[in-house]
Amino acid sequence: AVLERIEKKDGECRAYLSVFKEEAFKRADEIQKQIDAGEAASPLAGVPMAIKDNICVKGLPTTCGSRMLEHFRPPYDATVTTRLHDAGAVLLGKLNMDEFAMGSTTETSYFGACKNPWDVTRVPGGSSGGAAAAVAAAEAYYTLGSDTGGSIRQPCSFCGVTGLKPTYGAVSRYGLVAYASSLDQIGPIARDAKDLAAVLDVIVGKDEKDATSVDAGEGGYLVSLTGDVRGLKVGIPSDYFGEGLDEEVKEKVLAAAKKLEEMGAVVEEFPMPMVEYAIPAYYIIASAEATSNLSRYDGIKYGFRAEKFDDLIDLYVQSRSQGFGMEVKRRIMLGNFVLSSGYYDAYYKKALQVKALIKGEFDKAFERFDLLLGPAAPTTALKLGESLQDPLKMYLGDIYTVSVNLAGLPGLVAPCGFDGQGLPVGVQLIGRPFGEKTLLNTAYAYQ
Ligand code: GLN
């Protein structure tokens, strides 16, 4: 049924970059046999799902939405892929995304923009636009996305689905194509918090192949859901509700806080002035790390190689010039600029100091509150083409998400209503490090 849905809907929506129909049927039969024999223990056994195209699946396309990796087939599985496979997941295909996860609209994909299933003249958000759109269009029961600066949460807000960016280190990044390694995290997108919990149970945990992954003794997310939020202390950062926030979005997000209050949570406003500096700090750090990570695409080892070139240097230049799109090139230039010797102290070092201050502000907030609640994006889904003209405007749209990555915290976005045009609005819950259970339980109670 889900494959039929993809055939009927995805021509228009373009959430998928590749679909593995035959393999999926074969796999489903295999898992059915396991279930019949009583050998499949996971609640995910046999459930059709799909993966963002920057997460490696052995032998299958992993393009990162880029010409550079159009024909790349990884020789290994990402750890999350292996874990889900072992739990009996049925992989349907790989999902559309902004090129190398750089963008907030899924329009920078080399293979064409993904559209919002609620209104195909609008963007699904990004960079995990395909991963959110696929769940919204019932073209998968759950998907995996990645979030470096909002890329799971903002598309969930635009598409009316639920998504979680776990604490940095909670989920292994092994096999995730690196964008900004100190910020990247893989996370699930699904219809509701309960489904997210089931997926997180499988993918969470330390992995010896990722030195930054940690064992926080977590797991048991699904069984921990109670729906009880009595006495929960919810902080509302007043600086998240200032200038630039759409009135209708504000209203719906505050209504979500009210509902939690009615269920017994204690809601209180407090100031968080550092949020203003999150965007510049994020774009400096993310671009600097991207510059370094993307230096591996030289036209030699793997990926795109230009057909015509004069010498070795020209081979690099031609391959990178033709293989990367505009947004990726902009980030590489920005990253090289902020890392260059004369500017290092003024930009990169300064950004790291701001990052520490933001982290400090969150630490202070969590002395008083169990979780923070605010918007995920200043608006609902934008029209296609709107932000391509104005990259700075697109960057500013990341205001409510990027500080969570800078501080390494978990963030969950759940749908909280619709604007006057019938477009979904999302509410963001931000938790303490490894506070995923609190986030999932709060969203579960709310939903
Ligand atoms: N929009 C942000 C960027 O372009 C976030 C991307 C992400 O989280 N991968 O960098």
pLDDT in tens, 106-144: 999 999 999 999 999 999 999 999 999 999 999 999 999
Decide if pLDDT at 373 tops 90: yes
Query: Rounded to the nearest whole angstrom, what is the distance from the C-alpha of residue 14 to the centroid of ligand 1?
Result: 20
Taking residues 369-384, what's their average pLDDT? 98
- What tokens were used for 159? 């598409």
Give the pairing of strands 411-418 and 424-431: antiparallel
pLDDT in tens, 212-239: 999 877 789 999 999 999 999 999 999 9
- What tokens were used for 241? 């509700």
Query: Rounded to the nearest whole angstrom, what is the distance from the C-alpha of residue 100 to the centroid of ligand 1?
Result: 9
ipTM for the predicted complex comes to 0.97
Task: Give the pLDDT band (50/70/90) at residue 445.
Answer: very high
Residue 358: count other Cβ atoms within 10 Å of its Cβ: 22
pLDDT at 213: 97
pLDDT at 61: 97
- Are the beta carbons of 31 and 21 closer than 8 angstroms? no
Three-state SS for the chain is CHHHHHHHHHHHHCCEEEECHHHHHHHHHHHHHHHHCCCCCCCCCCCEEEEECCECCCCCCCCCCCHHHCCCCCCCCCHHHHHHHHCCCEEEEEECCCHHHCCCCCCCCCCCCCCECCECCECCCCCCHHHHHHHHCCCCCEEEEEECCCCCHHHHHHHCCEEEECCCCCECCCCECCCCCCCCEEEEEECCHHHHHHHHHHHECCCCCCCCCCCCCCCCHHHHCCCCCCCCEEEEEHHHHCCCCCHHHHHHHHHHHHHHHHCCCEEEEECCHHHHHHHHHHHHHHHHHHHHHHHHCCCCCCCCCCCCCCCHHHHHHHHHHHHCCHHHHHHHHHHHHHHCCCCCHHHHHHHHHHHHHHHHHHHHHHHHCCEEEEECCCCCCCECCCCCCCHHHHHHCCCCCHHHHHCCCCEEEEEEEECCCCCEEEEEEEECCCCHHHHHHHHHHHC
Residues of the chain with pLDDT > 70, as a percent, come to: 100
pLDDT at 302: 86
Closest CA to 278 of 363, 361, 344: 361
pLDDT at 389: 84
pLDDT in tens, 399-416: 999 999 999 999 999 999
Q: Which domains does the chain have, with CATH numbers?
A: 2-278+349-446 (3.90.1300.10)
pLDDT at 219: 87
Residue 109: active-site member: no
Phi and psi at residue 87, to the nearest 5°: -85, 0
Substitution candidate for ligand 1 out of 55, 66, 98, 413 with most atoms within 8 A of CB: 98
Catalytic residue among 52, 115, 194, 355: 52
- What tokens were used for 402? 């990027």
Substitution candidate for ligand 1 out of 97, 326, 402 with most atoms within 8 A of CB: 402
User: With left for phi above 0 and alpha for psi between -120 and 50, is residue 304 left, alpha or beta?
Assistant: beta
pLDDT in tens, 20-68: 999 999 999 999 999 999 998 899 999 999 999 999 999 999 999 999 9
Catalytic residue among 66, 104, 109, 127: 127
Residue 321: active-site member: no
Instruction: Identify which has the larger pLDDT, 216 or 184.
Output: 184
Nearest CA to ligand 1 atom 5: 149
How far is it between the farthest Cα atoms of the chain? 70
Alpha-carbon distance values, 423 to 106, 199, 271, 317, 341 (Å): 18, 27, 29, 43, 46
* Angle at alpha carbon of residue 262, lines to 256 and 267, rounded to 5°: 65
pLDDT at 41: 81
Identify any residues that bridge with 371 across adjacent strands, giving them in sequence order.
Answer: 234, 431
pLDDT in tens, 279-295: 999 999 999 999 999 99
Residue 287: active-site member: no
For helices 193-203 and 436-446, angle between their N-to-C axes, nearest 10 degrees:
160
Give the pairing of strands 185-190 and 411-418: unpaired
pLDDT at 40: 81
Residue 313: count other Cβ atoms within 10 Å of its Cβ: 9
Residues of the chain with pLDDT > 90, as a percent, come to: 94
Closest CA to 236 of 258, 269, 259: 269
| Ligand 1 pocket, Cβ-based, cut-off 6 angstroms | 101-104, 127, 147-151, 179, 286, 398
Nearest CA to ligand 1 atom 10: 102
Query: Rounded to the nearest whole angstrom, what is the distance from the C-alpha of residue 401 to the centroid of ligand 1?
Result: 9
pLDDT at 155: 98
pTM of the model: 0.98
Cα(34)–Cα(364) distance, rounded to whole angstroms? 49
